[in-house]
Chain A
Amino acid sequence: ELFVLTYGALVAQLCKDYEKDEDVNTCLDRMGYGIGVRLIDDFLARSAVKKCRSYSETADMIAQVAFKMYLGVTPSVSCSSAAGNEFSLILDKNPLVDFVEELPAERASLCYCNVLCGVIRGALEMVHLAAEVTFLQDRLKGDAVTEIGITFLRKAED
């Protein structure tokens, strides 16, 4: 709970610091990235998982092992492109927004949980997988579910 409240205070402060929603979103993403590049080693050290051999395995790993380990929830995964490099994580329950009902009117395009996108992006980069991670749907914005989209870009060569 303390973490969720701290996150809320962080977002509120950023909203005071930055006028534009995009700036807050960018800031959250950047912070998330900084967390992700370090969190990945903790994840690998603790979960002792083997190297993933496909994007699909990677997406499953993020949803079923990582989210479970760090947020206690397990989003469902679906592949949204024929090429096999675009995936969606559908969050049924999102602990970060436990105390948030809806976004205030003047913050309509705020991605409240954008830090998560940064974390995923940073973590993937450290295992040499470049990806774009964004929120496709957000319950806080009135959508039915909260959906994070991961698009794997060309794999970086070691």
Chain B
Amino acid sequence: VGHAVLAINGAEVNGRFTADGKDVLEFLGNPANYPVSIRFGRHRLSSNEKLMLASMFHSLFAIGSQLSPEVGSSGIEMLETDTFKLHCFQTLTGIKFMVLADPRQAGIDSLLRKIYEIYSDFALKNPFYSLEMPIRCELFDQNLKLALEVAEKAGPFGPGS
């Protein structure tokens, strides 16, 4: 459910066609092409889908802070499932940073704060970036990638683990 064909025999598939224009179903229907290896998986989200999911989460976040029995609750900080943990950090200006990680990954809090710094340096200080728009700043992407690599290397070692 929700999965799609991502690759056939190692070549990436885009919708119904492979990279060199072959129709996937046709290819699969021809026994001469067997044996064939097919990779299934979830589609990478498009930008629009990401925006939609993010705004849904934003609403859930607001509902969460209102439903909370604790006074002055700030909202959803973490969502835990069997396969992943979603961490959310809300700034005083209302911006939310969300990180999806392995449940065992530690150091996400400091990663979130580091991302806040990277955002304020490379997105906000970029004179050509307009607030509230998708961030298409090269430096932001580069530094974000570096920060993620550092966090991944740190691995599942955290206090008390």
Residues of A participating in the B interface, judged by any CB pair closer than 8 Å: 37-42, 44-46, 48, 51, 126-128, 158
Q: Given the known A-B contacts A37-B131, A38-B124, are A46 and B93 also in contact in the complex, defined by CB atoms under 8 Å? A: no
Taking A37-B131, A38-B125, A38-B131 as contacts, is the C-beta distance between A45 and B113 under 8 angstroms? yes
**Distance in angstroms between the alpha carbons of A37 and B130 in the assembled complex:** 11
Beta-carbon contacts under 8 Å, B85-107 to A: 91-95
Please report the C-alpha to C-alpha distance between residue A140 and residue B31 in the assembled complex, in whole angstroms. 87
0 or 1 for each of B119-146: is its CB under 8 Å from A? (1 = yes): 1110011000001000000000000000
CB contacts (< 8 Å) of A37 on chain B: these are 131
Given contacts A46-B117, A48-B113, contact A41 B94 (CB under 8 A): no
B116 beta carbon closer than 8 Å to chain A: yes
Contact B95 A41 (CB under 8 A): yes
Name 20 extra pairs, CB < 8 A, besides A41-B119, A44-B120, A45-B117. Answer: A37-B131, A38-B120, A38-B131, A40-B93, A41-B116, A41-B124, A42-B120, A42-B121, A42-B124, A42-B125, A44-B91, A44-B92, A44-B116, A45-B120, A46-B117, A46-B120, A48-B113, A51-B92, A128-B94, A158-B94
Q: Which residues of A contact B119 (CB under 8 A)?
A: 41, 45
Interfacial chain A residues near B120, Cβ < 8 Å: 38, 41-42, 44-46
CB-CB < 8 A to B131: which residues of A? 37-38
Residues of chain A lying within 8 A (CB to CB) of residue B94: 126, 128, 158
Residues of chain A within 8 A (CB-CB) of B125 are 38, 42
- A46 vs B116: C-alpha distance in the bound complex, in angstroms? 9
Given the complex of chains A and B, what is the CA–CA distance between A127 and B91 in angstroms?
A: 9
Chain B residue at smallest Cβ distance from A43: B120
**B113 close to A41 (CB less than 8 A):** no
Nearest chain A residue, comparing its CB with the CB of B129: A38
A39 to B120, CA, bound (A): 8
State A45–B120 Cα separation when bound (angstroms): 7
Q: How far is the CB of B89 from chain A (nearest CB, A)?
A: 11
Instruction: Report yes or no: B124 in contact with A44, Cβ–Cβ below 8 A.
Output: no
27 residue pairs bridging A and B, Cβ less than 8 Å apart: A37-B131, A38-B120, A38-B124, A38-B131, A39-B124, A40-B93, A41-B93, A41-B95, A41-B116, A41-B120, A41-B124, A42-B121, A42-B124, A42-B125, A44-B91, A44-B92, A44-B93, A44-B116, A45-B91, A45-B116, A45-B119, A45-B120, A46-B117, A126-B93, A126-B94, A127-B92, A128-B94
